[in-house]
Chains A and B, each alone.
Chain A
Amino acid sequence: MQAVFWGVRGSYPTPGPDTVRYGGNTACVELTSASGERVIIDAGTGLARLGDYLAEQGELHQPLDLLLSHLHWDHIQGLPFFAPCHHPDANLSIHALRPDAVKLSDIVRGVARHEFFPVALDDMAASFHFHEVHPGRAFGARSFDVRPFRLNHPFGAVGYRVIADGTSCAYVCDTAPFDLLLHKKHFLKGPEPLSAADRRSLQRRKASLLHAIAGCDTVIYDTHYTQDEYARFPHYGHSTPDHALDMCAGQGIRRVVLFHHAPNHNDTQMDEIDAHYRAKGDLLGLEVVTAREGMVLPMGPGRRAPHMRPGTGP
């Protein structure tokens, strides 16, 4: 199995000269098995570029499974520009959490509508199938075994452990840490006091996350904030590299990927973050990799080193 990073940015896309090396497109990761099957995790603007690539390869009609962590704009805004959506033979299975009473298909239709995009989901040529994700309930997508687990993020989000070719990759994004506050469905102006039930809920989420990532080859983690930024915005639903390393150390995990970079982090800051946490990872026995757009990450036994897709980067 290998991962290709098509979008690594959080919150909103950040084109421009200062983000050319790490990338400015929002969240989208493609996982491919040795047999050539693929699942895609999240549909940020990186998905549009993946669609262009699939069009170049003549692979628009291949059945595709799209796993969504949640539907915040930075995880969905690439979908209407994904070339397979406009191909009559394409089959897209969309897997996502339904956070409230609204049907999953209606939520996605409500997002991809003509007030926001040139072509609404209802007018797209492809066939869409919607599958509601239930945390703790495993399912199959192509030949991948997928295990979803609940994260700590406003209005709900899920992470996924994806298993193929005898190796595992976990995607933990978007999530806040599991101590200071519990994200529910209302807008938070700042941390709110935790009830005993809230604390139990946080403990359960943390335990199910630790269970899901244990023994993974690679864990891709929401490390949006630096420690200082997190101290100022603990209620926005994102973690730090320190928290990700804390969670992953001692769990039989080989590699942690820093992901969902804050839009204000330019390439120079990302270099500093990368150097700092690679060194910290060494001390903890973890290989730390900072996600870059265009990065290919082979996983499992006999793997090659991480490298860049041909023609990507500055």
Chain B
Amino acid sequence: MKVRFWGVRGFYPAAGASFVRYGGNTAALEIVNDQGDRLAIDFGTGAVPLGRALLGAGFGAGKGALSVLLSHTHLDHTAALPFFVPVFIPGNKIDIFGATSDGKLQGVLESLFDPHVCPINSLRNLGATVSVHNVADGPVAVPGFSVRALLVPHGKATGVAWRIEADGRSLAVITAIDHPPQGPLPTAVALAQGVDMLMQDAAWPSSPAHLVQRWGGASLGYAISVAELAGAQQLVLTHHAPNHSDGDIDAMLADARRRTTLPVRAATEGETLEV
């Protein structure tokens, strides 16, 4: 199982010379198993170049199928949907899995296309077959992978943490979570139990900065605790804050490596990792 990082930024994209090494696009991951089955996690602006890359993999001819797992519906995880070229090509099949606090993911995604904000006006005007699935805690049927969802608190929105297994390897992606003040959310630790790789949002170097309370998301301290308590083999820090330059992320990574003996890396746009 391979993971490619198409977008590693949280909140909003970070354009400019200070952000080119780690990358400025918002959250998007592509996961491919050894048989070539593919899924995406999150659809921030990084999913736009993913869409272009997929045109050569059957999606250009309307023969593509993609499952998209959303951690939540904030724009840094959904903004690429109206700009993801495969959705305009008839024949492609896109299945979107996620959760909202009102249980109406379809309605929220539809309002991404509302005529006030988007010239496409409606999901119905897309060429591809786009199906939206609300998930609950537990297994989710995705071809080629064993997938589990866990609903977690994320501000007034609902977040979903994901565990993905294929080829005898496991990965947990936790990028939209407000851990309680007393320590990491126990259900999230359980979800990530023994994974080969844990991706955890760590936008904030220390808790509890005022931005954490205002914007939600986790800090480096929580990310390390989840990884250690779950017995993860490797921790990947992601969802970098839009104000953190490449140098700031280098410093946070160095700090993380002082604070844990686990292998830690910072997610980097364009990189592919073998899980």
Contact = CB atoms under 8 A, between A and B. Distances in A.
Contacts of B120: 187
Contacts of A187: 115, 119-122, 125
B185 to A, nearest CB: 18
A64 interface: no
B214 A12 contact: no
A128 B48 CA distance: 33
A107 to B, nearest CB: 5
A293 B9 CA distance: 20
Interface in B1-48: 9, 11-17, 19-20, 23-25, 45, 48
Interface string A100-116: 00100001001100111
B89 interface: no
Contacts of B115: 99, 154-155, 185, 187
Interface of A: 9, 11-17, 19-20, 23-25, 45, 48, 52, 71-73, 76-78, 81, 86, 99, 102, 107, 110-111, 114-120, 123, 154-155, 185-187, 236-237, 263, 293, 313-314
B22 to A, nearest CB: 10
B116 A107 contact: yes
Interface of B: 9, 11-17, 19-20, 23-25, 45, 48, 73-75, 78-80, 82-83, 100, 108, 111-112, 114-122, 125, 155-157, 214-217, 242-243, 269
Contacts, number: 127
B11 A118 contact: yes
A219 to B, nearest CB: 24
Give 8 closest A-B pairs by Cβ, nearest first.
A15-B24, A24-B15, A114-B156, A15-B15, A13-B13, A154-B119, A118-B215, A187-B121
A20 B214 contact: no
A115 B119 contact: no
Given A20-B20, A118-B215, A187-B121, A12 B116 contact: no
A114 B157 contact: yes
Contacts of A102: 116
Q: For chain A, what secondary structure do more than half of its interface residues adopt (helix, strand, loop), or is it mixed?
A: loop
A127 to B, nearest CB: 18
Contacts of B82: 73
B15 A13 contact: yes
Contact of B216 (A24, A73, A118, A155): A118
Contacts of A78: 12
A293 B17 contact: no
A72 B20 contact: no
A36 B80 CA distance: 37
A71 B114 CA distance: 10
Contact of B79 (A48, A73, A118, A154): A73
Contacts of B45: 12-15
